[in-house]
Amino acid sequence: MPEATAVHIRSLRKTYGTGFLALAGIDLDVAPGEFFGLLGPNGAGKSTLINILSGVVHRSSGVAEVFGYDVERQYRQSRQLLGVVPQELAYDPFFTVREFLRWQSGYFGLRRNDDWIDELMAELDLTDKADTNLRALSGGMKRRVLIAQALVHQPPVVVLDEPTAGVDVELRQSLWRFVRRYNSLGHTVILTTHYLEEAEELCERIAILQHGQIIALDRKERLLAKNRRKRTLTLEFDRDPGELPSGLNEVLLGANGNTRVLQVDEVLHPMSEVLHILQGLPAQIIDLHLQEPRLEEVFTDLLQEARSHG
């Protein structure tokens, strides 16, 4: 395997026959061993980008490479280095779990792969389903099989396209334990998910797509820091404080009994000033909780900003 960027994308465009522009000139590099998040609303272009990388969709123009191999001109080499867990539960209903994974191994030229298949099944709690026909499995079990299928050739780059959509909490937690371990061995992981708390917990860098363009690309900590001026302040009073002063009513997110929730902008409403105003109320503060912005808030703000400029 050549020494190169794990995924290299330059000026990548995709226009469908209807004239719809799905990707409008994407530039992106993912480093070897990185845990990378690819986020965006439905229709942003995430699936198109993944399908181009995996060879399912042909690009209109631009560069797309996996470890230096062009995904079209050198499809065999690039596909050998890539594993994709799709959103859809696509499988062959005539195979048992073990037969399916052996067949997938053969697709990559691996004839003696049972040790790794056994390890995958053990890691994904599929061992007792090894001889079960795929059509007899639950949705969660089928999802585990698709994850094993993507990793059966031990690819250095794995793309997880909404891997935990519709699965239970137990599977979600076991999946992330396994994927973290896989990543710790030096494998590159690219994750798309609508569960932004997953991306916040797992990913080192994040790209946010909107209308086929990258509107943000940075380390997770920097994305969060850009929005750190906005923090959520939850206050509990000893009795109903009544209406807040006009300057704070504008940032009131919610009121429930004696509790008030504010979103405080450090530039417009410095915390020292906010607390000074609150101390002048007839009710006394008995509890206070300050929450830093989460990725979901950053994500929402960036999309709104992109729309306002679009």
For the chain, what is the mean pLDDT? 87
Q: Tell me the per-residue pLDDT of 54-90, one tens digit each, with 9 for 90 and over.
A: 999 999 999 999 999 999 999 999 999 999 988 766 6
Other Cβ atoms less than 10 A from the Cβ of 59: the count is: 22
User: Is there a contact between 206 and 30 (Cβ–Cβ < 8 Å)?
Assistant: no
- The model's pTM: 0.78
The closest of 197, 166, 153, 22 to 88, measured between CA atoms, is 166
Share of the chain above pLDDT 90, in %: 47
3-state secondary structure of 78: helix
Q: What is the pLDDT of residue 84?
A: 92
What is the average per-residue pLDDT within 106-119?
Answer: 91
**Would you state the pLDDT for residue 305?**
76
The pLDDT > 70 percentage for the chain reads 93
Query: 22 pLDDT band (50/70/90 cuts)?
Result: very high
Q: CA-CA distances (angstroms) from residue 58 to 39, 72, 160, 212?
A: 22, 8, 20, 15
The dihedral through the CA atoms of 167, 171, 176, 181 has a sign that is negative
Residue 89 has a pLDDT of: 66
Q: How far apart are CA 203 and CA 176, in angstroms?
A: 11
pLDDT at 229: 60
230-273 tens-digit pLDDT: 778 888 999 988 888 877 876 788 888 899 888 777 667 777 88
Instruction: Spell 218-248 as b/e; 16+ CB within 10 A means b.
Output: eebeebbeebeebbbbebbbeeebeebeeeb
Both tokens assigned to 236: 């509990």
CA distances from 184 to 33, 34, 167, 170, 200 (A): 8, 9, 24, 21, 17
Q: How far is CA 268 from the centre of its chain?
A: 32
What per-residue confidence (pLDDT) applies to 156?
96
Report residue 3 as tokens: 């020494």
Instruction: Take residue 12 and report the two structure tokens written for it.
Output: 């990548």
> What is the helix (H) or strand (E) element at residue 212, kind and residue range?
none
Mean pLDDT of 11-17: 94
Question: Do 295 and 216 touch, CB atoms closer than 8 A?
Answer: no
Distance of alpha carbon 256 from alpha carbon 210, whole angstroms: 35
Q: What is the pLDDT of residue 1?
A: 42
What does the alpha-carbon distance between residue 82 and residue 100 come to, in Å, rounded to a whole number? 18
Q: Which tokens sit at 231? A: 């923090």
What confidence category does residue 52 fall into, taking pLDDT thresholds of 50, 70 and 90? Answer: very high
How does residue 3 score in pLDDT terms, banded at 50, 70 and 90? low
In degrees and rounded to multiples of 5, residue 286 shows phi and psi of -110, -15
CA-based radius of gyration for the chain: 24
Structure tokens at 63: 């560069």
